[in-house]
């Protein structure tokens, strides 16, 4: 089969629809969301109505039934609009809805997946803890079976959608003697006895993203809310595989936004009697930015295509995530440099791109973890 680097007509139409949605529904909200550090929850029903929350899920649950490539097209467009808002959407679909669909019972799917796709319920993933980030096997949250319910105790932190989520997929040990293999996954609803949000986390960037710390103190979870029994660690890693590809697409979108702004600025800004884009020092920066972004984009969509085909893509997903994270940080730095002093001012968006870009190397598995995974896949 010949190689084809073109999106289908349907995918191009989808991109246009996503772009229009971002411009009309999200862009007017950005300034206030960034200032108040709040995600506009009213977006979720609108996203659901447009089908953007169910791109990869079957029509029988209200989804659209498309592939990971289309999912990444949407993630890239959202990354261009606002990193924080894009992050919350990704966390909802890739980290909460995906494991519910992949591993949940039919009852769980009807209760959480269907309203999640419609934007009527917001989901989150509770994996990271104060003393367990990259080393997810070292989580301390535990769940003990008592009759027809589980009792959860522990703390989760840096949880995207944590403050506003209606339900959270929570990782906890049900058998501490089996490191990793003894982890189970639970669906914990807001309002369950013993579950509380202890506070919002304030961040350098991604200010529009809802990020919180969750505390479980003898939290009562009905046994029917057990999503995955022991062996939940591997299921969590399977969830992160797809999420890393989507996150890489978001990083490409962020980089593209920074590049486009710097490019236009360089054409408008004059120095020594001509646009600064005509100076080799600036034009070479822009050329390098374009090359790196296009390379990252190709890596993302290759990984997305492999994922959609059901092919093994652990190495490719980590490569795309790692490289896109490096590219968006570098491009954001260069965009600030091209704008000079204006790039350092809050009146111009490149300052926000610069702050937002750093998270790409930290979340969904740090860049160091991606190096470890790639090395392992190379047989090292």
CATH number for position 96: 1.10.540.10
Segment 217-242, tens digit of pLDDT: 999 999 999 999 887 788 888 888 99
Q: Are residues 277 and 314 in the same domain?
A: yes
Q: Are residues 370 and 256 in the same domain?
A: yes
Q: Are residues 252 and 364 in the same domain?
A: yes
Q: What is the dihedral of CA 265, 268, 269, 274, to 10 degrees?
A: 140
274 lies in some domain = yes
21 lies in some domain = yes
CA-to-CA dists, residue 286 to 175, 235, 298, angstroms:
54, 41, 18
222: tokens are 């009905």
Q: Are residues 136 and 103 in the same domain?
A: no
85 lies in some domain = yes
2 lies in some domain = no
Q: Are residues 240 and 199 in the same domain?
A: no
Segment 253-312, tens digit of pLDDT: 999 999 999 999 999 999 999 999 999 999 999 999 999 999 999 999 999 999 999 999
For residue 2, name the pLDDT band (cuts at 50, 70, 90): low
5: tokens are 């680097």
CA-to-CA dists, residue 319 to 69, 239, 268, 312, angstroms:
16, 17, 36, 13
223 lies in some domain = yes
41 lies in some domain = yes
The domain in which residue 148 lies consists of 125-230
Q: Are residues 330 and 195 in the same domain?
A: no
16-31 per-residue burial string, b: 16 or more CB within 10 A, e: under 16: eebbebbeebbeebbe
Number of structural domains in the chain: 3
Report the C-alpha gap between 234 and 1 in whole angstroms. 33
> What percent of the chain stands above pLDDT 70?
99
Q: Are residues 38 and 173 in the same domain?
A: no
260 a catalytic residue:
no
Choose the final residue of a domain: 122, 152, 185.
Answer: 122
- DSSP code of residue 7: P
96 lies in some domain = yes
Residue 249 confidence (pLDDT) above 80: yes
Choose the final residue of a domain: 198, 230, 262.
Answer: 230
> What percent of the chain stands above pLDDT 90?
92
- Of the candidates 76, 334, 351, 364, the residue annotated as catalytic is 364
Report the C-alpha gap between 237 and 352 in whole angstroms. 31
Q: Torsions phi, psi of 145, nearest 5?
A: -75, 130
Q: Are residues 26 and 71 in the same domain?
A: yes
Segment 301-319, tens digit of pLDDT: 999 999 999 999 999 999 9
Choose the final residue of a domain: 211, 230, 249.
Answer: 230
pTM over 0.85: yes
Residue 65, exposed/middle/buried by CB under 10 A (0-12, 13-18, 19+)?
A: middle
Segment 14-47, tens digit of pLDDT: 999 999 999 999 999 999 999 999 999 999 999 9
88 lies in some domain = yes
Q: Are residues 272 and 219 in the same domain?
A: no
Q: Are residues 275 and 335 in the same domain?
A: yes
Residue 95 confidence (pLDDT) above 80: yes
Which spans in the chain are helix H? 9-21, 30-36, 43-50, 68-81, 83-90, 98-103, 106-108, 114-118, 232-268, 280-308, 314-339, 350-357, 367-377
Residue 97 confidence (pLDDT) above 80: yes
Report the C-alpha gap between 43 and 32 in whole angstroms. 14
Mean pLDDT of 346-353: 96
Report the C-alpha gap between 121 and 7 in whole angstroms. 32
Residue 80 confidence (pLDDT) above 90: yes
CA-to-CA dists, residue 138 to 160, 176, 181, 183, angstroms:
20, 10, 11, 10
Q: What is the CATH number of the domain that holds 349?
A: 1.20.140.10
3-state secondary structure of 131: coil
Q: What is the CATH number of the domain that holds 168?
A: 2.40.110.10
Q: Are residues 213 and 338 in the same domain?
A: no
Mean pLDDT of 154-173: 97
Q: Are residues 98 and 129 in the same domain?
A: no
């Amino acid at each position: 089969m010949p190689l084809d680097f073109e999106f289908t007509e349907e995918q191009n139409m989808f991109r246009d629809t996503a772009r229009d949605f971002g411009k009309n529904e999200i862009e007017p909200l950005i300034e206030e969301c960034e200032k108040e550090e709040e995600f506009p929850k009213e977006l979720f029903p609108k996203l659901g109505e447009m089908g953007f929350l169910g791109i990869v899920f079957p029509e029988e649950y209200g989804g659209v039934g498309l592939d990971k490539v289309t999912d990444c097209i949407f993630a890239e467009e959202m990354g261009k609009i606002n990193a924080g808002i894009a992050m919350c959407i990704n966390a909802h679909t890739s980290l909460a809805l995906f494991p519910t669909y992949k591993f949940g019972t039919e009852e769980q799917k009807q209760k959480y997946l269907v309203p999640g796709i419609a934007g009527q319920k917001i989901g989150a993933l509770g994996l990271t803890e104060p003393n367990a980030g990259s080393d997810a096997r070292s989580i301390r949250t535990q769940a003990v079976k008592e009759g027809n319910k589980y009792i959860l105790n522990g703390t989760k932190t840096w949880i995207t959608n944590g403050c506003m989520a209606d339900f959270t997929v929570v990782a906890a040990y049900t058998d501490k003697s089996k490191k990793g293999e003894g982890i189970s996954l639970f669906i914990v609803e807001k309002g369950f006895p013993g579950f509380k949000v202890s506070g919002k986390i304030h961040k350098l960037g991604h200010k529009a993203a809802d990020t919180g710390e969750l505390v479980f103190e003898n939290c009562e979870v009905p046994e029917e809310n057990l999503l995955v029994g022991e062996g939940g660690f591997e299921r969590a890693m399977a969830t992160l595989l797809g999420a890393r590809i989507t996150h890489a697409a978001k990083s490409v979108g962020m980089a593209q936004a920074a590049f486009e702004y710097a490019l236009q600025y360089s054409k408008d800004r004059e120095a020594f009697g001509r646009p600064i884009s005509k100076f080799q020092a600036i034009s070479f920066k822009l050329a390098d930015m374009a090359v790196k972004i296009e390379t990252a984009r190709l890596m993302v969509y290759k990984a997305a295509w492999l994922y959609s085909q059901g092919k093994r893509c652990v190495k490719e997903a980590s490569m795309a995530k790692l490289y896109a994270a490096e590219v968006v940080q570098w491009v954001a730095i260069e965009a600030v440099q091209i704008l000079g002093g204006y790039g350092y001012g809050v009146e111009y968006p490149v300052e926000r791109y610069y702050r937002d870009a750093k998270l790409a190397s930290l979340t969904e598995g740090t860049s160091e973890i991606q190096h470890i995974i790639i090395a392992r896949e190379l047989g090292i």
